[in-house]
Copies of this chain bind each other. A is one copy, B any other.
Amino acid sequence: MAKKPKNAINPMRGEDYPEWYQKVIDAADLAEASPTRGCMVIKPWGYSIWENMQRVLDGMFKATGHENAYFPLFIPMSFLEKEAEHVEGFAKECAVVTHHRLEPGPDGGLVPAGPLEEPYIVRPTSETIIGHMYAKWVESYRDLPILINQWANVVRWEMRTRLFLRTTEFLWQEGHTAHATKEEALEETRLMLDVYADFAENYMAMPVIKGEKTAGERFPGAVQTYAIEAMMQDRKALQAGTSHFLGQNFSRVQEIRFQDQNGKEEYCWTTSWGVSTRLVGGLIMTHADDDGLILPPRLAPKHVVILPIYRSDEERADVLPYCESLKQELEAQTSADGKVEVIIDDRDVRAKHWDHIKKGVPLRAEIGPKDIANNGAFVARRDTGEKKGVGREEFVASVSQTLTEIQDNLFARANKLREDNTCEITNVDDFKAYFTPKKADKPEIHGGFAMCHFVESPEVEQLLKKLKVTIRCVPLEGGDSAGTCVFSGKPASQRGVFAKAY
């Protein structure tokens, strides 16, 4: 046997966090860069995590009355121009389709041909084209609300990209709803924020703060933007999902009008909300360790991997049937979310357990001749690293409970990290010190979430920019609070979460 390496991931989190992140993705075989600038290839293991996220979220959307539909990838350029802030927000980073064929060029290669009369942009988000359709569909209050979600790819020409966290093309869902009243639209905005928080905490085991974005951080064209914010292991914040109250901004420029019960013509109130493959990045940065990925059971494509251990064909002939029947017994158990998913890795490969450690499978069961003799299994938990021999019956009977424990443990661990690295700051010097790395700090790991009373102003923005800190949100719980602005000393009516962020 090869000597067990100290850690599977090199560098470790504390040595070089960004590089560690990249190495975890490689080691777990989740995704890789592609020949298309800033775009990634999501490999089967990574995609199966996204599929699980989709399945759960889709169920939540449908349970809250939404239906799926599909709108075009290409948006006429003129559509973007209608909403002033929206175009400001997206025109600088969008893929533009200008031609509809290729033909041989002067030097033998291909050149674009068939110029389009009006260029199309590849959707960076679909408010404009979906709103255009809603304007056709809505006539009366009886046609409202419209509650539609779309699973789609979108493109934003980001300058700096990073697998899952920020890619030129990414996969996401975008909900777009239209309502007869402001109250109903606001309620929808908050409902979907709650859905996202529920998903993040109860499936991803990633604690989040629900809050409202400040004016400078709003979605281009929105009246209010709500977000869920999570703390990664380097103590930076990740915006993991957003829900926007668009007021009548889009309905006015797109003429989404309806006749109310009194026959009066009104503009609709609209919302939009989305989460993306960025969540996979958040999952990695919340739970992975120096040996690779750790998957919360409720989103793990496989819950248990059985590893047959044998040194001869004879042993193999004994071990494999035992593994097969164990697999069946485990699969007959049901976890909180359905079937317990089990695989057997019977490759004749040394130290193959490392593959599954790196991929983050919650439980590993090694089965060798000795285990069979004891009618047991040697079971390892990925989250705690705990390993022990367990009787077969006990293992099978407790597997569902163990998976729940792992799920809970991951959440508790992430929650503790956040608690340990969140503080109330009341003066500007403490604030600066908090966000300035000290020599003793591990590189790039410092700071955390600072809770500060504040008043928005250009001076505050300036200071924050210098420190590379952003206001993540004003939390729904505890944000509405009177105090003194940390930066200006002025009376403040709100308290925000400040952090460095992805």
Q: Mark A70-93, 1 if CB is under 8 A from B, else 0.
A: 111111111111000001000111
Contact A102 B110 (CB under 8 A): no
Within the complex, what minimum Cβ distance (angstroms) separates A149 from chain B? 10
Within the complex, what minimum Cβ distance (angstroms) separates A344 from chain B? 15
Contact A48 B73 (CB under 8 A): no
Contact A73 B112 (CB under 8 A): no
A72 to B109, CA, bound (A): 23
- Interface check A396, CB cutoff 8 A: no
Complex contacts, A101 vs chain B, CB 8 Å: 91-94, 96, 157
Q: Which of A37-45, A260-268, A305-313, A326-334 contacts B (4 or more CB under 8 A)?
A: A37-45
Contact B74 A39 (CB under 8 A): yes
Within the complex, what minimum Cβ distance (angstroms) separates A70 from chain B? 4
With contact pairs A35-B79, A96-B100 given, residues A72 and B41 touching in the complex (Cβ less than 8 Å): yes
Complex contacts, A114 vs chain B, CB 8 Å: 157
A43 nearest in chain B by CB position: B69
Complex contacts, A152 vs chain B, CB 8 Å: 153
Within the complex, what minimum Cβ distance (angstroms) separates A9 from chain B? 21
Contact A44 B67 (CB under 8 A): yes
- Interface check A16, CB cutoff 8 A: no
- Interface check A169, CB cutoff 8 A: yes
Contact B95 A102 (CB under 8 A): no
Count of identical protomers in the assembly: 2
Q: Mark A47-70, 1 if CB is under 8 A from B, else 0.
A: 110110000000000000001111
Contact A96 B112 (CB under 8 A): yes
Contact B122 A97 (CB under 8 A): yes
B51, B70, B99, B120: the one within 8 Å of A42 (CB) = B70
- Interface check A119, CB cutoff 8 A: yes
Report how many residues on chain A are interfacial, defined by Cβ distance under 8 Å.
61
Q: Mark A309-339, 1 if CB is under 8 A from B, else 0.
A: 0000000000000000000000000000000
Contact A97 B100 (CB under 8 A): no
A119 nearest in chain B by CB position: B112
Complex contacts, A44 vs chain B, CB 8 Å: 67-69, 148
Complex contacts, A39 vs chain B, CB 8 Å: 72-74
Complex contacts, A81 vs chain B, CB 8 Å: 109-110
Within the complex, what minimum Cβ distance (angstroms) separates A378 from chain B? 27
- Interface check A191, CB cutoff 8 A: no
Complex contacts, A71 vs chain B, CB 8 Å: 34, 41
Within the complex, what minimum Cβ distance (angstroms) separates A417 from chain B? 30
Complex contacts, A50 vs chain B, CB 8 Å: 70
Within the complex, what minimum Cβ distance (angstroms) separates A296 from chain B? 20
- Interface check A218, CB cutoff 8 A: no
A272 to B133, CA, bound (A): 35
B47, B48, B129: the one within 8 Å of A36 (CB) = B129
A148 nearest in chain B by CB position: B44
With contact pairs A36-B129, A157-B100 given, residues A41 and B68 touching in the complex (Cβ less than 8 Å): no
Contact B47 A129 (CB under 8 A): no
Contact B70 A41 (CB under 8 A): yes
A114 to B37, CA, bound (A): 14
A29 nearest in chain B by CB position: B137
Q: In A13-46, which residues have CB < 8 Å from any B CB? A: 32, 34-36, 39-44
16 contacts between A and B (CB under 8 A): A32-B133, A35-B76, A36-B73, A36-B120, A42-B69, A73-B122, A73-B155, A73-B169, A77-B102, A80-B110, A87-B102, A95-B120, A96-B102, A96-B112, A98-B99, A153-B153
18 more CB-based (< 8 A) A-B contacts, given A39-B74, A152-B153: A35-B132, A36-B72, A40-B72, A41-B71, A41-B72, A42-B69, A50-B70, A72-B169, A80-B110, A81-B110, A91-B103, A93-B100, A95-B99, A97-B97, A97-B122, A98-B99, A101-B157, A122-B122
